[in-house]
Amino acid sequence: MAKTDALQGSLDLLVLKILSRRPRLHGYTIMAAIANTSGEVLRAEEGSLYPALYRMEEAGWIRAEWIKNDTGRRARVYELTDAGKKQLGIEESRWQSVSLAINRVLREA
């Protein structure tokens, strides 16, 4: 439970960051990437991943496209837009300041 709590509000950041490194991923790969790179510490709740993806798509941060994958099935892949790159910058600096603040609290208290 603690894992998902930490993720609250930072799902967008993680998705944007992952897509900035590796474009054209579909939902499952994004989720798997979050889990893998965080050393299985962070896990996006699968039910909320797709609404978040659609929300970001409507906001214009990412764009989606249907492609045929290796197995011949249709898959919807996502990639970052210019607006998304800008948004990633904003989210990153917000995360920096928040984690800095939390660290400061931990040190002082």
Partner 1 sequence: MSLWSRISNAVRGERLNREIDEELQLHIDEAIASGRDPKEAYRAFGSTLRTREASHSIRAAGWLESVLADVRFGWRQLCRNKLTSAAAVLSLALGIGSCVGAFRLIDALLWRPLPISGSSNLYVLSRKMTGLYGRPVEDDHWATPEFKLMRDAVKDQAELIAISDADRTDITWATSGSTDDAIEKAHVVYVSGNMFPVFGLEPALGRLLIPADDRGPGTSPYAVLSWDYWNHRFGRDPHVLGRSLHVGDQNFEIIGVGPHDFTGTETGTVTDIFLPLSMNGMASEERADWHHIFLMLKPGANAATTLEPMRQHLTAVNRAFGSACSTCYRGETKDSVERFLNQTLVFNSAGAGISDLQKEYRRLLSVLGLMVALVLIIACVNVANMMTAQAAARAQEMALRISIGAGRRRLVQLILAQSALLALLASALGAFFAAWSAPFVLSLVNPPDNPARLALSADWRVLLFGFGLIILVVLVLGLLPALRVSAVRPVAALKGSEDPHSPRRLMHGAIALQVAFCCLVLFLSSLFVTSFERLQNRPLGFSTDRLLLLETVAGKGQLPVVWNQTAEALRAAPGVDSVAISGWPLLGRIKINSEISINGAPPSPTPAFFLNVSPGWLATMKIPVISGRDFSADDVSPGAAIVNETFARTFFPGQDPIGRTFERGANQPLNKIIGVTPDIPDHDLREPNRAVFYAPFNAIDDKSSPSAISFATFIIHTGGQNPLALANSLRQLIAQRNNGLRVSNITTQLDLVRDQTIRERMIATLAGFFAVVALLLAGIGLYAVLNYSVLQRRREIGIRMAIGSTRAGIVRLVTLDVFLMIALGGCAGVALGFGAARYVASLFYQVKATDADMIALPACAILLTALFATLPAVLRALRTDPTEILRAE
24-43 residues in contact with partner 1 (CB under 8 A) are 26-29, 31-32
Q: Which of 8, 39, 51, 106 binds partner 1 (CB under 8 A)?
A: 51
Candidate segments 11-19, 74-82, 88-96, 98-106, binder of partner 1 by CB under 8 A: 74-82
Q: Looking at 17-25, 46-54, 87-95, 97-105, which segment touches partner 1 (CB under 8 A)?
A: 46-54
Total length of the chain: 109
Per CB under 8 A, 50 contacts partner 1: yes
User: What is the C-alpha separation between 95 and 77, in angstroms, rounded?
Assistant: 26
